[in-house]
Chain A
């Protein structure tokens, strides 16, 4: 089907500045296929069902709107106390000198820019494959664009229980950078890995992570999205879960004029669990969108979505979450919760929670709320001597606690809690 002329032109313009990563047979084939998908879809518009609440204009623009750099000198780097393998990308380009030696027992780590040159590679079965599966029933044009034009990324194959997490650090050093990164992670049977991510990445950052988890595998993902005010990020996580596998993902976001995080999760094996959670804090010119799609296509799987947003001074939060239970996916346990705490009247929360169930023996629940601070609780704290601003922060952290609680590792949970507390304290001045 041909695109309308205007959309066609915009799509052409968007592609103009992009170059493909030179690759061997497997990568070229994946890029070709993705370009085909993207060409057929074109760029998203406000009238697309899942772009009503988030304006894609700056993501569609031929060049990235510039984003001022934010130098933070007054705080220790996040996850700094955790023994980990650090891999650093500067504006989307791998920085070997700044990175650790990727030497981790049971884990093979390669650069996409290197491994892409080979003709045969394991990631042929993952790269662009999970993304393509995630294109129906909802289109995700920026993910296809990413597969076709990613400039770098890591390909990680996990065959054992990794002793240390892999930490992907995304630095932003150029005001006009337009980065596209694509990671593939293959967790083999019974293997386990934790991936940490943080940093703004670029002025405009398009990132895809495909995670393929074999039977009995486990994958943990904790992400802290950069504090840059003006950055824009469009991210996708695609996950496919085998039997008795576990997928856990938590994202903390503070600041950013535009963030859209999509999580597309598919259960293909029985008795698996997937938990996605997020805690977002926005002040002023902040737009944060969580778009989640979970497909249950196996028996006795559990999925959980817990998203919390604290918004003030005109900040906007969006949640679009769907649980799809395919015929035969009996004993599905699906839970979805999205809540916003609106600290003033200018903040807004737009939610589109959806359930589509084609099996009869399932337990699915969802709830979405937005509300102001609890005045009774606020008075109680103040009556005990806690100043108003501090009391509001305590209640804000308490509100986010349920999402933070979704992080399995206690040290990381404490770290995230401390960061959120620090962010609130800086705001308080």
Chain B
């Protein structure tokens, strides 16, 4: 599904290397988690994969189902099936949430040469998925993320993911700022999408989200590299001993 090889990334504006050779393969049907201390490069990895400006790839590659991700525009990556749930969802005053969702769904369909979703079908689908995430009608009408609480923003990300039905989902600290109930809702939303044709990369700082979204593989990232890979037990180890021990062990 997603194949990252020896990925080196620096900031465009300054000579600062952030990713220093990341290797990672997420297979279809699997949930991979990346854990790591703040500043280790987790968000940078998610941004580079989705095509944000400001980063320069100096070496390595990233492909989605064999397509060279790094050669595509962000919208092409999205249409190819990549989705990033943002660590900090952006507020867009003046653009209604529904309008935004419908535009996104249909833009992706158009790019893939598929038929647009009818208004009726769209409304029905969005209402049902919103209900599952406890997103009320008011939140759908309001401008995108504008004035949303932290939890509302994260649930809105999951709603978008559910509507767009991407092949490869990257979730960047979707658990941060959530209380236990909201985290359960989000985890349910993610688990509902788990299937054999879809891959997940769940970025998180803490282990607790992984109690609700069971990962198949856990990676530890530190200073721009994956320093250790293991099963779900690795997450528990981190929870108990912190990252410092791991770093020392690897060094």
Contacts and interface: CB of A to CB of B under 8 A. Distances in A.
Contacts of B250: none
Given A384-B164, A385-B75, A398-B94, A379 B53 contact: yes
Contact of A385 (B79, B91, B92): B79
Given A379-B52, A379-B53, A386 B104 contact: yes
Contacts of B204: none
A399 B93 CA distance: 8
Nearest to B93: A398
Interface stretch (B13-21, B82-90, B188-196, B241-249): B82-90
Contacts of A380: 86, 89-90, 92, 144
B95 interface: yes
Given A375-B53, A380-B90, A383-B51, A388 B75 contact: yes
Contacts of B95: 394-395, 397-398
A376 B94 contact: no
- The prevalent SS among residues of A at the interface is helix
Interface string A362-390: 00000000000011110111111111101
Interface residues of A, number: 24
A411 interface: no
A49 B172 CA distance: 54
A175 interface: no
A120 interface: no
A125 B127 CA distance: 59
A387 B107 CA distance: 7
Given A375-B53, A380-B86, A386 B92 contact: no
B239 interface: no
A171 B105 CA distance: 41
Contacts of A383: 50-52, 74-75, 77-78, 84, 86
Nearest to A386: B107
A401 interface: yes
A40 to B, nearest CB: 47
A379 B77 CA distance: 12
B132 interface: no
B90 A376 contact: yes
A110 interface: no
Contact of A381 (B51, B73, B94, B100): B100
Contacts of B90: 376-377, 379-380
A395 B95 CA distance: 7
A96 B162 CA distance: 59
B103 interface: yes
Contacts of A384: 78, 100, 104, 107-108, 160, 164
Nearest to B109: A385
A402 interface: yes
A385 B107 contact: yes
A385 B84 CA distance: 11
Contacts of B164: 384-385
A394 B93 contact: no
Among B89, B144, B160, the most chain A Cβ lie within 10 Å of the Cβ of: B144
Given A387-B107, A394-B103, A382 B75 contact: yes
B94 A390 contact: no
Contacts of B160: 384
A47 to B, nearest CB: 39
Given A379-B53, A395-B92, A397-B94, A385 B86 contact: no
A376 B86 CA distance: 11
Contact of B104 (A375, A385, A397, A401): A385
B50 to A, nearest CB: 5
Contacts of A386: 75, 103-104, 107
8 contacts: A377-B90, A380-B92, A384-B164, A385-B105, A385-B111, A387-B111, A397-B95, A401-B94
Given A383-B52, A383-B84, A384-B108, 5 more contacts: A380-B90, A380-B144, A383-B78, A387-B75, A402-B94
Of all A-B residue pairs in the complex, the 3 with the closest CB atoms, nearest first, are A398-B94, A385-B78, A385-B108
